[in-house]
Structure 1
């Protein structure tokens, strides 16, 4: 399927132009053929008139001069042939140019006066014939058919030459027309290109909406897009404000419950109940955080955010090195300086923070972060040399509340948050084996 509007219009215009020219060529050839035949008829009529003016009758005998006014009849190699037949159809005179020709023609003296026709000889050669019947010649009664012939071959050669010139001319005209159409379409579609550039600026966040400097046919579309952008922006602001209010309203009750649980924990007889209460409070806090992250870190509609990847990874690694300073983790960063990720910075921090913290926590001594550009979509890989993840457990640990590490506290929602963020941006998360010996989390970004 052709997705380019310009190419579609060009193909449609070229198809119509070719059809038009294919219809015009036979019409022009037919018109020229008729005009050429009419010209030949007039020429032969003039030649017959020349023969009539030179003929005279004496004692009922036709006399013709040795030299005719029209010298073409007297030239041996001339293609203009002249004959005179009597009423009985007997040949009584022939021009000098007919000495080498054997023309099989029999006039019909039937009173029609003048006839222009085309005859074919037994050998396949064709001639144009102009036959004039006369009854008076030089003021005397006479009955003759005066005939002038011309080979059709010259006519066919002329038509063939014309056909070649027409094909060349129409081909050149078609090429020029297509070039002009391409230039015209490029100029006409410039408005769409300008609109595309403005949309790119909106996606990059450098402008808030589309301008009104567009053709009137596009103003309704740009207006609808601007209303959609404003509506989305306002909805996101309201959504984030509501989430902030919700987080603030739940923060105080959870703090109170946490304080109560700490007081209860000081009484030995209530220690077990205090641990259960603290566990549930921690679970509620993590669940609230998970739901808030899941709701707020969504792909931002029509607007694309471009965040430099390397500074974010370096910042997170510096923080995690302080947390896990006792492990002396070796970090290898294979990241180009100019690589960028189309995500909100908050979403990127949340995603990488969970994955890197998981790698630091489970590794033995080494963590590696790699960026691999590809025509199928760029890939970010975070690897460690830890125990890895069994193949039959890989799908399970990406589910909310599932975790394999029982030595460290947590509710197993970090990877679920990562999975939600990645999928909300059209990317794909896969879990495999690392060359370092541990797990490898690969994020395939959409093109």
Structure 2
């Protein structure tokens, strides 16, 4: 199960390469073994045919004289006449007695336990002779009796041939075929590599364009692709365009709402006859409208996010905040990875970093540290200060609107509540702890890609 689960995450390129290698490493050797086996089978059949022809040649020379078999001492095929040539012939009686042997068996011991097939039938096989593998072809025959008092002359003709010649031919053939199959495998690999590059190239280009769109380097997918990918690219472009139009309509509606609400509130605030105790509720309503508008403008989990570089926004905040808190001689250190990207609205990222750094600057004595790291599947933001830190019992409540940490002189106000709303809209996680570097509070933010 684990292997199947891990295989599901293989890229198409990895799958095609694996299938190509498997095809070459399995199919080509199978072809080699099949050819070698077919060659040996054909060679064995040829040997059987050749031995059968030799047997009939000997049988044609056999004669019967007074119940005894007569054959010439030397045969026409010279291999039967050379001592231990590897090709032998002999004739045996049904009881195993040798009636005749060829000259090639002159100094060699006669083989024993030779087969005796049924009368008129042949038998082909292998057996060991002189501690070597040999083929043997046997055929039984019978001569009619020359007189009434004599039985028929029954015998078997055996042709024996060493397998060394066949083995040498087989080895030479196998060496040649495997050499050519290796060349064929290399040619196939080169051809398949070129085919793979040609096939996967549109996918690689499509992936690069997706990354470029995510990082904000281009607004849409612009290249032309094969039919299978063209429809996907068209749908993605449609999705991006619809999302952008919807976001713009959303902003326009919110702007109209802000204008329609803030103008009456401003008029109410300017009325001199308005009781003094009414000014504070009006201001509270005004602040609440501003906050809710900012929250509504957060893109959150939109259909499409482009990557916003974090470093420029962090550097801009790093130049602004020390000027606001110049009475502290604040040292704001930025450790922001150049490749760090925030997938969302630039305003949301500014709001998120601005509130976190602003609260850290309020609590810090002199030092604030911002660390941003781009990981495989998330963006990690860590803000640390050298202030008094946050008590354990306040760490779970500090993100609630209006809750203040007593150790912070100016409190958090709605700043961290906005941070919480943004994190929830982007499905992010947060954690508050004590900084091991500066000794104060540490806010760790994790935003999924």
Q: TM-score, normalization: structure 2? A: 0.79
User: Which residue in 1 is equivalent to 2:216?
Assistant: 205
- Contact 2:368/2:384 (<8 A) preserved: yes
Contact between 2:337 and 2:374, CA under 8 Å: does it hold in 1? no
Aligned residue for 2:148? Answer: none
Contact 2:213 2:219 (C-alpha < 8 Å) held by counterparts: yes
Where does residue 91 of structure 1 map in the other structure? 98
Q: C-alpha distance in 2, partners of 1:159/1:132?
A: 31
- For these two proteins, the number of residue pairs brought into alignment is 430
Confirm or deny that 1:253 pairs with 2:264.
Answer: yes
Partner in structure 2 of residue 129 of structure 1: 137
Match of 2:393 in 1: 392
1:236-293 CA deviation, whole Å, 9 max, x = no partner?
1111111111111111122123224x754xxxxx54xx2xx33322322222222222
Please tell me whether residue 429 in structure 1 is matched to residue 430 in structure 2: yes
In the superposition, relative to structure 1, how do residues 18 and 209 fare at CA in structure 2: closer, same or farther (>3 Å)? same
- Paired with 1:395 and 1:402, the residues of 2 have a C-alpha distance of 11
> Per-residue CA shift, 1:84-127, capped at 9, x if unaligned?
34688753210122242332255758652x52422646989664
Using the TM superposition, name which of 126-135 and 89-98 deviates more.
126-135
Structure 2 distance, partners of 1:298, 1:184, is: 43
- Between 243-252 and 373-382, report the one with greater CA deviation: 373-382
2-structure distance, mates of 1:334, 1:20 = 58
Indicate how the Cα distance of structure 1 residues 315 and 61 shifts in structure 2: closer, same or farther if over 3 A, else same: closer
SS in 2 for 1:397: coil
Instruction: Tell which deviates more after alignment, 393-402 or 101-110.
Output: 101-110
User: What is the rounded CA distance, in whole Å, between the counterparts of 1:208 and 1:377 in structure 2?
Assistant: 23
How far apart, in 1, do the equivalents of 2:448 and 2:14 lie? 27
- Using the alignment, how far apart are the partners of 2:160 and 2:220 within structure 1? 81
Q: Distance in 1 between matches of 2:204 and 2:447?
A: 27
**Alpha-carbon distance change, 367 to 279 in structure 1, aligned in 2, over 3 angstroms:** farther
Report the equivalent of 1:305: 307
Q: Which runs of 5+ in 1 are unaligned?
A: 265-269
Residue 240 (structure 1) aligns with:
251
Deviates more, 1:227-236 or 1:166-175: 166-175
Measured after TM superposition, the shift of residue 398 of structure 1 is 0.8
* 2:353 paired with 1:346: no
**Residues 168-192 of structure 1: CA deviation (Å, up to 9, x unaligned):** 7767755654554344223212111
| C-alpha contact 2:368 2:386 (8 A) present in aligned 1 | yes
Is the 8 Å Cα contact of residues 336 and 371 (structure 1) preserved in structure 2?
yes
Could you tell me how far 1:208 is from its partner in structure 2? Answer: 2.8
Please name the residue that 2:110 is paired with: 102
The alignment partner of 2:225 has SS state of: coil
Taking a change above 3 Å as real, the CA distance of residues 411 and 313 of structure 1, as seen in their structure-2 partners, is closer
Equivalent in the alignment of 1:37: 44
Residue among 227, 237, 242 paired with 1:226: 237
Partner of 1:330: 330
Query: Distance in 2 between the 1:226 and 1:338 partners?
Result: 28
Q: How does 1:161-180 map to 2 (within 5 A)?
A: 177-178=188-189, 180=191
Match of 1:267 in 2: none
How far has the Cα of 1:396 moved from its partner? 0.7
Q: 1:77 to 1:308 in 2, by over 3 A?
A: same
Q: Distance in 1 between matches of 2:315 and 2:167?
A: 85
3-state SS in 2 of match to 1:146: strand
Q: Does residue 75 of the first structure (1) align with residue 82 of the second (2)?
A: yes
How far did 1:66 drift?
4.5
**What's the counterpart of residue 54 of structure 2?**
47
Q: Deviations over 1:394-414 (max 9, x none)?
A: 121112332236998889321
Secondary structure of the residue aligned to 2:397 is helix
| CA deviation after TM superposition for structure 1 residue 417, in Å | 1.1
Q: CA deviation at 1:42?
A: 2.0
Aligned partners of 1:116, 1:6: CA distance in 2, in Å?
57
Where does structure 2 lack aligned partners over 5 or more consecutive residues? 1-5, 145-151
Q: Supply the RMSD in Å over aligned alpha carbons.
A: 4.0
